[in-house]
Each structure stands twice: as C-alpha cells, then as structure tokens.
A and B are shown apart, each in its own frame.
Chain A
C-alpha cells in the first residue's frame, strides 16, 4: 500500500463496518485506506457496493488475511475493474472463505493479486478467482494442493483449458477424496496425462492423420507428423519442429497454442513443411557458413517456399500471416528478423528500417526474376548478414529461435556433414544430431509410471504369461479412452481329466441332436436370387409368361411365378469367449454343478455340432487380475479339432475377475482376421464385469458396453449367453436385451441357441 493513501483516510461515522472495526485498529487502518482508494477510483455511486462486499466478508468471519488480500488486490485492479463485477468478486471470495477456510482463501486472493500488474487488466485474475471459488465449492479439500501447483499449471495452460483439466480431476475421482488430492497435487499420473492433453502436446497425435492427408491433399507429398518426446537427459530439447526425410518431428517442448488455435497452428506447420518438400529442391551446403548466415538463409528460404505455395493456395498465406505478430521496431536480431519475415510475405506490411527494406527489395527482385532459383536465399543471406555485422548487431546463435514457431528449425534444409562437432557452427548444428527413432507408442506413455510398466511387463513374462497385446480401455467419466491401458497375457492351458466332461456330454446326447437339427437349418450366406418360387417378394416375369401360355394351350400351368432372394449355404465363423472368473464357481440349479461346468458342457456340445457342420470356430477363456494381467487362454484355435479342446475345457478352473471389455476386444481382434461372410463373437459369461483394481461399479460395465459397440462397428456380431440365475440382468445392458440369452439350466440351451440362430438366419 502506498503511503499517500493514508492521507485520504477520512473517518466516516456512518459506515457501520468502520464502527465494528474500531476494536481492531490494525484492520481498521487498512480498511480506511482501502475505502479511500475505492472512493477515489469508483466515485460515490459504486462505493456503497464496495462497502457491502467488505462488510459481508467481515461478517463471514473472513479474517484479516483475506480482507487485506482483497484490499490489496483491489488497489491494483480497481482502476480498470468494471464496478458492476464487484459483487461477483465479493461472492467469489466469500465462496472461498465459506468452503475452503480463511487461510486458504487468503492464499488464493493474494495469489490472484500477484497476477495483476499495477493498473493492469484484472479480468483474467477475476476469472481465476471464480474458478477457484468453483473448485472450493465442489471439492474444498482440493483447493490447497491445487494452489500449490497453480503457478506451474498457469504457466502451461490457458484458463479455459485449466478449467477443463480441473473438471477432469473432479469427474475422474468423484468419490475418492484421497486420490482427488493426489490429482490436484499432481502426484497422480493421470493429472499429468490430462495436463498434456489439454496443453496440446499429445494433441498432435489426434491431428497426425488429418495433417498427413492435408499435406497429401495440397501438394501430393508424403509427410508424417510425429511427436518427439523430450529425452530424460536432453539438455537442450528442440524448441521447433524438425523436418527430415518426409517426416516432421514435433518436439514436446514446442509451445503450441491451446484450444482451437492448435488446429490452425498444426496446419500452418504442416503446410510450411510440405511447401519445403515441394519447393526446396536440394539442400544447402553448409560449408563454412556462419550461424548468422545459416539463420538468414533459412529465413529467406522459408519466405520463398511460402510465397510459392501461396501462389498456388492463397488461403495458406492468410493462415501463415495469422501467426506473424507485429514486432516492435528495435535494432535487435529478433525484431529485425521478425519484421523481415513478415515483410517478405505481406506486401501491405510497412517497415521503415533500412536493413529490412533492403532485404525486401533484394528478395523481391530476385523472386520476380526466377522464384524457383533456390540459391537466391543464400546470396541475399550473405549480403544481409554482412550488413548486420556492419551495424554491430550481435547475433546469439545459442538463443536464436526460428520465428514464428510454426516454422521448422531450418536444420533440415542444410546438408550437415558427419563431422559436425568439429564445425565452428556446432551451436547451430548441435540440434542437428539425428534424434533416435521415437519409441513405438512412446508418445502415448506420458508419465514415468507408464514407462516403467512397459519395461516391467517385459521382464515379468515368465511369471505371468507372455504379453500378447496391450489394449485401450474406455473411461466413461472422462468420456475418453486410456490408450494401452490393459495388458493381455497368454494363460497356460493345462489339460484336465476329460472323463467327467465326456460323461456329461454323453448324457446330453438328446440335447445335442436337437441342436444339430437346428444348426443345419440355419442358412447363413450372401443372398441369391431364386426364380420360379411358390412365394416371394417379386413376380418372376418369365414364369408368368409361361403360365399364361400354358393356360391358353390348355396345359396345367406351373404356379411358381415368384422370385425371391435367399441366403443359402453356410459361411460363418464363431468365436466363443468363456468367462472363467471366480464367480463362475457359483453353484447353479440343484447345486450339483457350477456355472463353469455348465458353460464348459454347453461349449463342448455346441463345438462338436459345429465341427460336424464344418463351421470354423475358436474358443478363448478369460479371467483377469487387475489391468496388468488379463489372461486369455486358447482353448481351441480355429484350425484345431474338437478333440484337442475337450481336455482343456475340462482343465479350466475358476479364478480371478471378469474384465470383460478387454477380453472382448482381444477376441474380436482374432476373429476379425477371418474372411467369412458372417463372424460371430459369443460371450459365455455370468455377465458381471469386475476387477480387483476397480472400485467404481459402473466403470467396467461401461467399458464392456463400449467394447461391444466397437466390435459391432467392425462388422462382427456379438451375443452373450448369460449363465446363472440372474446373469442376464447384468449382461443385457452391455450386449443389449435382444443379444442376450439367459441360460439357467442345461436343458434351456437348445431353445436359447435356436433363438440365436434364428436371428442370424433371418437378419
């Protein structure tokens, strides 16, 4: 607070708060000064509103920390604050006090104050306070840890993105207070992943396919954009994209703009790189060039290719120019380069500086003469570089960054010799050392924990079974997939004693024969037009002619005058996915058999019948023990005989949990490789997804539902045979009621299968 405010501190007996504060002289002093300041800035019409804010906060027992914080916030913000927002400010602070306590609120307010420069625009700080108030209302305990990481977060995210990041945290850990705190303290790896997503770094992966198409579309070039993760001991991480061999490596350190601007930014970057691929015919020899010359050559070549590209696609110039700011005129390399860059692109851009004017004149003359002569950039760079030297403007090669940031770093334009280290320009070229291939999927493994997991999984194969796949998992709370989240392992198949199963199979022979009759009737193949039918959707014209002719000849006419489309023959492949989780150990019916016993028998019957019909089928069993260990066992492969399956079926033992979504995704991957007309995935389960590492009852069910939808999108049919007394109630929401078949007793199975096959036949 400035000392002069004290002089204005006039006492006012009519102010109730002043009277109340009379017992606390220190606070009163601050209040009087703040009031005087507010009165001076706001004028008499808004001072009452100001007073009521302070008064209500005081009555809320806000404490001196909050009040003084607020007053000092106001002393900075008031000159430019909209008086109408004063109540909003008051309400935000009150909210903070109410939910998070006075100490936290004071910290929040002083933090917000520090974000306002004296006399600067307070609107962003106000938004920040509102955001904090909202967080305090929804998760009071999260505020303190959040304030601790606020500086880092604010340096990386714009406010709307930060709000989205907070929303993610609140939605992800709805009930778990402890994990919520960890999220906002940034101890939770998920917090970092969501941060990266909102920051736009990993957003490149969401853009990459589109950008490749964009480059192909404009210039018919192959350009792949890849995220380049910063190495752990990368002392000087790249700050600009690097172009080389049809690839654009986009370093994570590149500050891409947030939100919707990221789309335009990545497009500008891609279009620029594609323009180089098309118009920079050969690389410049690096020879004995000085860093300054290299930088200038790059700048001029950038301008040349952009001008050429824009001659073909005028819209690109608009796109690129939107990233060229207005540099303040100064005799620095940064300012001169920025103005030259823009001047070369934008004819309407006015510059007075002699150096820029000269650069522009030389470039325009050479460009007009022959825009495809690439050496013009080198020649003009020599002249301009020499002039800069004459002007005694220092060039700091180490600090130099290509601007605007959508442009690549220019190193890709030069032929860098192998012995680059010995070159005096190693500072510029230092970044040119070829970065090793980014790890497969490395860009997705954001946090250290994930990287550790990937390594660990390779080391532990012997204990848990070989890793056969890593799959994503759907998180309904985030409305997004966690990439590579679930590890699928191969379960070892120990053969059991088949005697009991064979006996059971023998006993249910009548059931089997009924199934056999049903299956044979099911005809599954492409439709064929059948003529001369007794009934059908269309009239067979030729048959009608014959009928009329026969009648007139007095013959007995053939009444088959319809044509129809029918499916004939069989062309289907079936994958059975059998749940062997602990819940399948429950007894069914009279208690003699478990769910798994019933399921094994059902599969044995169906399998033998399908083999007789020649329909290819495979059987997988699954159980899970956390997302790192989803075990799938191959009970029968497509090319194996049923006999091989029986002992393995008999050897199945219930255990672990049901991570249904992951199992369905993996089974579908195997089935999708089949070339049959119809591919059917049948899940035999008690239909209650659960796992040891998930406490949200909805989570795995939603994931399974999503997985089933995805599998259907791939053109596979998915059905569930729900085993047990109430299993269909759990399975129906996942598979849909029409696609769920409840089987309570073994004698129900033929009827249920009939329903299933009837649907396959008529649809």
Chain B
C-alpha cells in the first residue's frame, strides 16, 4: 500500500514563532514522539503539515473522536465474498510505510483506545495487531505526533498520565500581533492594515477567555473573516459571520464582541 497520497507536494505556509522547527527536527532525529499543545486554531496542524513537507515524509492525520475504537486505528478484518480480508487502519499504514502519524485532538478519543499507541512510543517501537496476532516493527522513519488542547481539560477528558509522559511537548500559542497579522494577510490575501484590525479584534476576544468564552477567536477564525472580506463582504458583517456568531450564543457576550469589533474599526 503506497503512502504517496499522503505526501505533501507544495510547501504549506508556516511562519515560525520561536524554536519549534529546530525542536521538532531534533525530536524527529531521535524519533521521540511529540505532543503539540495549544489553543484551537493557532496553527498546530499547519505546523505538522509544514514539517512533514520539510522532512519529505508522508503525513497520516487521524482526527480522534469519542466513538473511535482501537480497530479504527490499527485495522480490522473485512468480508470479501466468502473470504475475510485484513485491512490496515491508518495507524498501521503509517507504521509500515514510515509516515508521520498525527493524532489530532487525542483527548477526544477514549482512553482505552489510546493505549494501543503505547508500544509505539517507547524503545520497542512496535504495533501489536491483536486480531491478526501480528507484531509490526515500526518503519525507521515512522514518527508519532499528537495534538492536545489544554483548554479542554476536565475530569472526563484528559490524557492518562502514562500516555502523557511518553511524549515530548512543544507549546503553541497565538503568534504575537505583528506576526499574526502577517500570517492573516498572507493566508487571507488581504491588506496588512486590515489584517492588523482583524488581529486586534481576535486579541480583544481572547481577553474574554474564561469570562463568557471558552476560547477567543483563533488565527484560523480571523483568516476566514479576512477571506470573506476579500470576497466583498463588509468588515462588520464578515466579523459577525466568522467570529461573533460562531463563538457564542449569549446575547451579552455577543453584544460585547460586536461593540469591540466596532471599536477596532
């Protein structure tokens, strides 16, 4: 099974915050599994894509959800006529083919599911296919990355200690204003001045984190607002559509956000 569809051909835009590229490359060289921590929409996924492109490895991304079972990760027998055929799951493909395997929002997965990655993350570097009674040694290029949004932490949804401690962590946060504005301008294709304004709006909304909002507007959100604006939508309307309305349903919070948008214009 070829992993070519998982290769990234064009350079994904990424503007480094600090040392994260060097850190990631070092971890990759040592094949130390990496955990990317940071709020939603701050560029974790984009960073992995960029690094996969830079390192020339295929990238297998798995979005975790709470109904995901171990079989969804490693594979299962399927019926083919009268025969049963083993079909590798995405994780197994990555292990065999030497891809970077990216488990997005790992806390969403059930804890018993995440345990299957344990043998992959220590010196053994093997994947156990229990159903098939097979032990797959990982390809030497196989690399495991997970993302983890600390904002979600709760008694129900948190990583097991034993899982956490198998990873080296790189912290992410929203870029500082100037750089975030550059990212927004580049991604949305808008004027730097407008990008500045959008970043200002996003930063204002992030002040409400924990005071009416779970999370402020992410870089991704304001890039979307920027794209709407470049399609000819008015700034206020675009912000309403991409920022205010998706973030909250509370009338007071909405009203405060709207006033903040107006104050930024």
For chain B, residues 81 to 124, give those with C-beta under 8 angstroms from any C-beta of chain A. Answer: 82, 84
Number of interface residues of A (CB under 8 A): 26
Distance in Å from the Cβ of A756 to the closest Cβ of chain B?
A: 30
A321 on the B face (CB < 8 A):
no
Which of B39-47, B141-149, B178-186, B253-261 participates in binding chain A?
B253-261
Q: Are A217 and B205 in contact (CB under 8 A)?
A: yes
Q: Are A218 and B79 in contact (CB under 8 A)?
A: no
What bracket does the count of chain B residues touching chain A fall in?
Answer: 20 to 34
Partner of B76, one of A314, A545, A552: A545
Q: Are B67 and A217 in contact (CB under 8 A)?
A: no
- Given A313-B264, A542-B71: A217 and B77 within 8 A (CB)? no
* Chain A neighbourhood of B205, CB < 8 A: 217
Chain A binding site: helix, strand, loop or mixed by DSSP?
Answer: helix
Which of A153-161, A207-215, A293-301, A470-478 participates in binding chain B?
A207-215
* Chain A neighbourhood of B67, CB < 8 A: 529
Partner of A267, one of B71, B251, B259: B259
Q: Are B262 and A315 in contact (CB under 8 A)?
A: yes
Q: Are A214 and B259 in contact (CB under 8 A)?
A: yes
Q: Are A217 and B260 in contact (CB under 8 A)?
A: yes
Partner of A315, one of B77, B82, B264: B264
B265 on the A face (CB < 8 A):
yes
B252 on the A face (CB < 8 A):
yes
How does the 8 Å CB contact mask read for A281-320 relative to B, with 1 for contact and 0 for none?
A: 0000000000000000000000000000000111110010
Q: Are B265 and A210 in contact (CB under 8 A)?
A: no
A499 on the B face (CB < 8 A):
no
Q: Are A213 and B263 in contact (CB under 8 A)?
A: no
Partner of B208, one of A216, A267, A312: A216
* Chain A neighbourhood of B257, CB < 8 A: 213, 217
Q: Are B256 and A210 in contact (CB under 8 A)?
A: yes
Partner of B255, one of A210, A313, A544: A210
A644 on the B face (CB < 8 A):
no
* Chain B neighbourhood of A213, CB < 8 A: 208, 211-212, 252-253, 256-257
- Given A315-B262, A545-B76, A548-B84: A216 and B255 within 8 A (CB)? no
Whole-angstrom CA separation of A494 from B67 in the bound complex: 54
Whole-angstrom CA separation of A328 from B79 in the bound complex: 89
Q: Are A220 and B207 in contact (CB under 8 A)?
A: yes
Distance in Å from the Cβ of A270 to the closest Cβ of chain B?
A: 9
Q: Are B252 and A210 in contact (CB under 8 A)?
A: yes
A755 on the B face (CB < 8 A):
no
B204 on the A face (CB < 8 A):
yes
Distance in Å from the Cβ of A218 to the closest Cβ of chain B?
A: 6
**Closest partner residue, chain A, to B262 (CB atom):** A315
Residues of A within 8 A of B (CB): 209-211, 213-214, 216-220, 267, 271, 312-316, 319, 529, 541-542, 544-545, 548-549, 552
The 4 closest A-B pairs by CB, nearest first: A213-B256, A315-B263, A313-B263, A220-B207
Enumerate 16 A-B pairs (CB-CB under 8 Å) in ascending A order: A210-B252, A213-B211, A213-B257, A214-B255, A216-B211, A216-B256, A217-B256, A217-B257, A217-B259, A218-B260, A313-B200, A314-B265, A315-B263, A315-B264, A548-B82, A552-B82
Residues of B within 8 A of A (CB): 67, 71, 76-79, 82, 84, 131, 200, 204-205, 207-208, 211-212, 251-253, 255-257, 259-260, 262-265
Beyond A216-B208, A544-B79, 6 additional pairs, beta carbon < 8 A: A210-B255, A216-B211, A217-B256, A312-B200, A314-B265, A315-B265
